[in-house]
Structure 1
Amino acid sequence: MQNQNVPPILYKYYSPSSWKNVFKSWTMRFSPPEDLNDPFEAQLAAEGFLSTKELKRYINEIISTSNFISEKHDNTKTRKEKRKALKNYRKELEHKIRHRANCGTIGKDIQNDLSECARKNFGLLCLSENTNNNNEDTSNILMWSHYAYYHKEFMIGIDTNKLIEHIKSLCTNNLSIRFHKIKYTINRKRKLISNYTHSIDVFLEKSDQWEYEKEWRSIIVLDKNYLDFPWKNIFSRGKEIKGIFEISKDCITSVTFGAMMKDSHIKAKCRHIRSQLGCEHIELKRMRLHDTDYSLIRESIPEDFFKNINKKKVNIQPLINPHIMK
């Protein structure tokens, strides 16, 4: 089950080419961070390479195997001189190791390698709360502008519990997966590189400039050798499109069309949905510009708006008898 704080319905906005992917192929995608529009996605901001505990253990190993052992047994030095020499040796080692690991090429190379691995081998399913001030029918103007082709395309509502259960049912592994809320911050949080290997925080923190998205994410490993998952084999221009999977129709609760979509397109898409079995529960809605405010209104679409109704032609009689004009 989901965390109780996860909204029961989350939303996803789509571009013009995505209609066939959702409502013909019935697929969604866990996108690798490298394919998303934020260049900081999964980019590690490490403050160091070794923790204090790891550094101490490493220094002890070096001292125990170095020539310093023979110096400890040098009878020409007093105990105080030996302690001072050991202290200075530790200090010198710590300085060299920290400089090499944190400031030198080792730490930077490992940081870059881990970032590249995270950006290529993990998939993110990104959804939005879509609401402003907890008003369910007030949509996010910027989201429609940025992700739904300037309000000309569509948005779907997703039952988060059903989607997670569906994803788990596709996997033969004991998959632990859920939605996480994105944390928006002014500054990038820095961690030791060794701590990043046990954390998913790198996928869940973004600049506060993205806060308007009100995003929730689910994270999955895309590596086929690690996770036995029925990914769709899709290729575009010779490149594999990772992270595409089939969804169940009952995961989709609604489809909403943008305020600038033409009526003829809305009608065609509504008919397409209603023509498919198992789609009777999907609510059909559209956005409308508010008459006086800078806001959008979400309205239900009546069935007779898009149904093919044969209307009889009405012969309009002329108001003036043409014989009178002779």
Structure 2
Amino acid sequence: MIFPEVRYLYKYTSVNDNSLGIFIKDEFWFAKPDTFNDPLDCGIQLINNISKEKFLEKSNEYLKYLESSRKPRTKNPQLTQKIKSVKEVITKVKTGNALTDEILDSFAKIASESYSKDIKNIGILSLSEVNDNVLMWSHYADQHRGFCIELERNKDSDLADNKKTLPVRYSIKKPDISIEEHEQANKEEEKEIRRSLIYTKSVDWNYEREWRVIQDIGNKSYKINAKINSVIFGLKTPEHSIKTIYELFNKTGLFIKFRRARLKEKDFGIEIVDFDPKLMIFNDEIKNDSSSHQSAKSNTAAKLPNSSPSLAPAKLKVNHP
């Protein structure tokens, strides 16, 4: 288990059927990368260093793939044009002495698209190390109207399995992968290439401190072996949504903590505080109210005269003007 100091991971979400399904079915939604808000996510651009022989071999493989994609008695002008273009390139390379930069760039683009298609079909569950980031509450939790799920990360959970869950690496540059490197990779090396693409994002996103759980097929719900430790409501989570989630857990009989975001008094930011969804009040406010009430009772008692040992209450002497 890497980074054992990271004991909890958090899922920001809006209130919807998929997020409520987490509590009903014990399943999380794994989205495809093309649904993400970062257009560069899981993207790939292979470097075009390839020999003439390898180029022709791969081009012919790609041509066979395109031709096999044709459906009988169905017109597909875009596919027909693509097949024509590939044939022209193959002929040009065969009759020429060298690969031009234009041809190499075209091939690298085609290879990148083919490789990206496979990656963009995977499923990703995005989690974070932090639960109090104002931007993430705005972006992923419906502008603070949603909630955040705290998942416990221990050695027996899927969140501690390095084959399934890893932290994102933030970088200024995209991962450099050559066509030759990609083509010659064995199964284990291929996995490492995929991982570097899936777990690398632009440094602009490093405030998210993201971790990712991976499944082979995306846009599906999956169970994960990880205990829900608490649910955190946002600054603007509607009362009816809070009550719905509270009732869902009441029916399951599972014990979890409830907390809620609250604005800090002096600083820009929020703090996460224990919360009672039944009374719709922060726990420290309950204690403060109780302390104030107790203090008021004590002050009242201090003003009254000592009671008589007899059963009859003592009479107060009142001086009338």
Shorter-normalised TM range: 0.5 to 0.7
Quote how far apart the aligned CAs of 1:24 are.
Answer: 1.9
What does 1:33-112 correspond to in 2, within 5 Å?
A: 33-50=33-50, 55=51, 96-97=98-99, 99=101, 102-103=104-105, 105-112=106-113
Contact 2:145 2:234 in 1 (8 A): yes
What does 1:198-213 correspond to in 2, within 5 Å?
A: 198=190, 199=193, 200-213=195-208
Please tell me whether residue 144 in structure 1 is matched to residue 132 in structure 2. no
Which residue of structure 1 aligns with residue 67 of structure 2? none
| Secondary structure, counterpart of 1:300 in structure 2 | strand
Match of 2:238 among 256, 262, 285: 262
Q: Between Structure 1 and Structure 2, which shows a larger proportion of helix residues? A: 2
> How many residue pairs align between the two structures?
232
Contact 1:48 1:101 in 2 (8 A): no
Offset from partner CA, 1:255-278 (integer Å, 9 cap, x none): 10001123454244223312213x
CA distance in 1: counterparts of 2:172 and 2:258, whole angstroms: 38
Structure 2 counterpart of 1:27, which letter? E
Q: Which shifted more, 24-33 or 189-198? A: 189-198
Which residue of structure 1 aligns with residue 271 of structure 2? 297
Structure 2 counterpart of 1:204, which letter? Y
Please tell me whether residue 288 in structure 1 is matched to residue 262 in structure 2. yes
Quote how far apart the aligned CAs of 1:118 are.
Answer: 1.0
Structure 2 counterpart of 1:214, which letter? R
CA distance in 1: counterparts of 2:257 and 2:101, whole angstroms: 60
What does 1:161-180 correspond to in 2, within 5 Å?
A: 161=154, 162-164=156-158, 177-180=163-166
CA distance in 2: counterparts of 1:275 and 1:192, whole angstroms: 54
Unaligned runs of at least 5 residues, structure 1 = 60-92, 132-138, 169-175, 223-240, 308-326
Quote how far apart the aligned CAs of 1:8 are.
Answer: 2.2
Percent of aligned pairs with the same amino acid: 24
CA distance in 2: counterparts of 1:292 and 1:165, whole angstroms: 35
Structure 1 counterpart of 2:220, which letter? G
CA distance in 1: counterparts of 2:52 and 2:4, whole angstroms: 41
Quote how far apart the aligned CAs of 1:221 are.
Answer: 1.9
Relative distance call for 1:98 and 1:177 in structure 2 (3 A) is farther
Offset from partner CA, 1:73-124 (integer Å, 9 cap, x none): xxxxxxxxxxxxxxxxxxxx99824747632x3222111111112112x222
Quote how far apart the aligned CAs of 1:22 are.
Answer: 1.3
Offset from partner CA, 1:238-270 (integer Å, 9 cap, x none): xxx73311346x621111000112345424422
Contact 2:46 2:111 in 1 (8 A): no
Which residue of structure 1 aligns with residue 15 of structure 2? 16
RMSD: 3.2
Q: TM-score normalized by structure 1? A: 0.62
Relative distance call for 1:165 and 1:268 in structure 2 (3 A) is closer
Structure 2 counterpart of 1:257, which letter? F
Contact 1:184 1:205 in 2 (8 A): yes
